[in-house]
């Protein structure tokens, strides 16, 4: 829900359009259910709803942006092209021990995305994933010094990686 609100919140007329067209939505969604959903999100501090004249403007709060970002990150997948471009993508990171939670989340997400751990803080992927890594970096709040993204065309003795990625 938060992901949909995040996208929709970019339009100041979203709430107005939604309520006008609510009767067209299948599944018995009523104005009351929509109103309850917006009230729930507002009570949780995820959205702000303001009136400016006859317009209703809905925006995400900082907390709402974080939650929407979480749903975006959870849904991301690394696409496997039909033909490999013969490049490896490396993610190297140096996140301080005081940020262990962030480091653990990063490793877990890289593993979920099918990265191969060359070392504890050096992970490799055979397929394009720059946008996903940049979004993850932003979501975790780490800078480019803490997390680097590299594209390399040669990696010594990469037979094990070719086997791992089935390329």
Q: Can you give the pLDDT at residue 60?
A: 76
Q: Please state, in angstroms and rounded to a whole number, the distance separating the CA atoms of residues 133 and 94.
A: 15
Q: Please state, in angstroms and rounded to a whole number, the distance separating the CA atoms of residues 165 and 129.
A: 14
Q: Please state, in angstroms and rounded to a whole number, the distance separating the CA atoms of residues 64 and 47.
A: 6
Classified by CATH at the fold level, domain 2-73 comes out as Arc Repressor Mutant, subunit A (1.10.10)
Q: What is the mean pLDDT of residues 19-41?
A: 62
> Which pair of structure tokens corresponds to residue 28?
């018995």
pLDDT in tens, 107-116: 999 999 999 9
Q: Please state, in angstroms and rounded to a whole number, the distance separating the CA atoms of residues 71 and 6.
A: 10
Mean per-residue pLDDT over the chain, rounded: 81
Task: Name the residue ranges covered by the structural domains of the chain.
Answer: 2-73, 81-165
CATH of domain 81-165: 3.30.70.240
Cα→Cα distances 78→20, 73, 111, 130, Å:
38, 11, 11, 10
Q: Can you give the pLDDT at residue 25?
A: 52
pLDDT in tens, 81-92: 999 999 999 999
pTM value is 0.62
């Amino acid at each position: 829900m938060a992901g949909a609100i995040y996208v929709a919140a970019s339009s100041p007329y979203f709430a107005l359009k939604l309520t006008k067209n609510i009767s067209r939505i299948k599944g018995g969604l009523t104005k009351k259910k929509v109103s309850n959903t917006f009230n729930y999100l507002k009570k949780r501090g995820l959205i702000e709803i303001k009136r400016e004249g006859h317009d209703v403007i809905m925006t995400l709060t900082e907390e709402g942006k974080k939650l929407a970002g979480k749903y975006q990150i959870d849904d991301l997948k690394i696409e496997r092209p039909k033909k490999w471009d013969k490049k490896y993508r490396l993610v190297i990171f140096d996140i301080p021990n005081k940020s262990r939670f962030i480091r653990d989340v990063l490793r877990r997400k890289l593993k979920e995305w099918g990265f191969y751990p060359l070392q504890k803080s050096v992970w490799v992927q055979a397929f394009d994933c720059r946008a996903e890594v940049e979004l993850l970096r932003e979501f975790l709040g780490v800078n480019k010094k803490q997390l680097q993204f590299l594209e390399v065309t040669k990696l010594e003795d990469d037979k094990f990686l070719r086997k791992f990625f089935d390329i």
